[in-house]
Chains A and B, each alone.
Chain A
Amino acid sequence: MKRKVKKSKSKVSQLHEVSFTLNGKKVFCKVKSATVLLDLIRDVFELKGTKPGCNEGECGACTVLVDGAPVNSCLFLAINADGKKLTTIEGLMKPDGTLDPVQESLVQNGAVQCGFCTSGMTMTIKALVNKYENIPHVPGEIKSEIPTRDEIKKHLEGNLCRCTGYVKILDAAEKLFSKEE
């Protein structure tokens, strides 16, 4: 996204120092007040896996995890990433190149078509997986806490896909949980 040079230079926008953990690495940068996280990730850190879709929080293509929570990076001020742990789609793959189970499941279930929504979709599903992994359960007992298909649907309500019709995406998400038992 190219930033137009503003005509009025009367008030030079201040820069703020921000430091956070990006996909496991400590990073430091200076951002303008109005910079949103999406632009910081794509333009400064050149991680282009996070997609700009609607730029108004409707489509979820730009979803990233901030301290584990899925947020629309187009509506999240870069300044507020300070001190946080940020995960983008590039952070999911293991160093040896193996895909994250969420990515693997999407591939196996044919849940990717044009692919534009996929990184956002993956991050939102990842957040759900993390949530259910963090639910404490008595050791030795069968993990009864598994999201229903309706819960998965509700969780993915902020991610739009124009190709797949969602069925295979939901299948992919659902299988992640049934496999874990």
Chain B
Amino acid sequence: MEFNIINPKTKSELLKTIRKEKHFRFGAGCTDLLMELKKNSDEGLTVINLSQVKDAQFNGVKKSAKGIRLGAMLTAHQIVMNEDIKNNFPVLHEAALSLASTQIRQVATIGGNLCTASPSGDMACALVTLEADCEILGANGKARTIPITDFFTGVRKTALKKNEVLYGIFIPSKKKKVKNITSRFIKIGARRSMECSVVSLAYHIQTDETGKIIHAGVAIGASAPTIRFAKSACGFLIGKKFKNISQREKEEFAGKVLSYASPITDIRATAWYRKEVLFNISKAIFE
């Protein structure tokens, strides 16, 4: 493994480096990057090390009335420990906690999880459910914001242009009353730790005082080239009473979720298995 590394310390140094370098990749927690480079050396590669950049927007959490903004360099461990996330967006808390292992979570970042753009990304799946926005910083210092579903363009492909870096993620608070939430991340794999999902399902459902569903977000991972937001399945739930959903409705909902899946057969599971599991765990949300 050979590469050169550049350690920008500030945002302006980072932008300058991005403008100057030709053949580079970003390193955040480097847990994925080093694995990749250990396997396939990339001659002449420069790694721009993001972990020494001191910038509050890059490394911090900012809460506002509209939602919560997470710096791209927050680690999975920091996400797990954040009380606001745990209380308001449990799906993201659970996804971060299910990621890899204790050791990896100390260094792996939320931005890295998104930029790797794996169809089975854990935190990525939760963020799709929460309809987050991605804040992208250009080399000129200008930021643009895109919905997370537009951020993923294919397997390990993102909407990031060559001179752009993911700067932060914004999770909007959907409804003012965030008390009644059912928000979970379900990860199916051969074991519970150090596992890449065979199928994952993330959901964030809000109900009003009467138990009627007023907002629903459902996303599926490892079931298609990108993580998919199951829009029609979400729409189907609005107005229904969470506790009174009939067996037929549960199946109809699961069918709608499944319509977004186009899984492949690979080393982890067959396409058939993935579909069966997805259908069953979708149904099980209400049980």
Contact = CB atoms under 8 A, between A and B. Distances in A.
A pairs with B:
yes
Interface of A: 6, 8, 11, 13-14, 16, 33-34, 36, 55-58, 60, 63, 66, 69-72, 75-77, 79-80, 82, 124, 127, 154-159
Interface of B: 1-5, 7, 27, 30-31, 34-35, 37-38, 43-44, 47, 49, 51-52, 77, 100-104, 106-107, 192-194
A158 B99 CA distance: 11
A80 B194 contact: no
B1 A34 contact: yes
Contacts of B192: 157
Contacts of B103: 57, 60, 63, 70-72, 124, 158
Contacts of B102: 70, 124, 127, 154-158
B106 A70 contact: yes
Contacts of A8: 43
Given A33-B47, A158-B194, A56 B2 contact: no
A57 B43 CA distance: 23
A158 B193 CA distance: 7
Given A55-B38, A69-B77, A76 B107 contact: yes
A80 B106 contact: no
A158 B104 contact: yes
Contacts, number: 86
Nearest to B97: A154
B35 A16 contact: no
Nearest to B192: A157
Contacts of A77: 5, 27, 30, 34, 49
B5 A71 contact: no
Among A33, A36, A154, A155, the most chain B Cβ lie within 10 Å of the Cβ of A33
Nearest to A80: B51
B106 A11 contact: no
A127 B44 CA distance: 38
A124 B106 CA distance: 12
A109 to B, nearest CB: 21
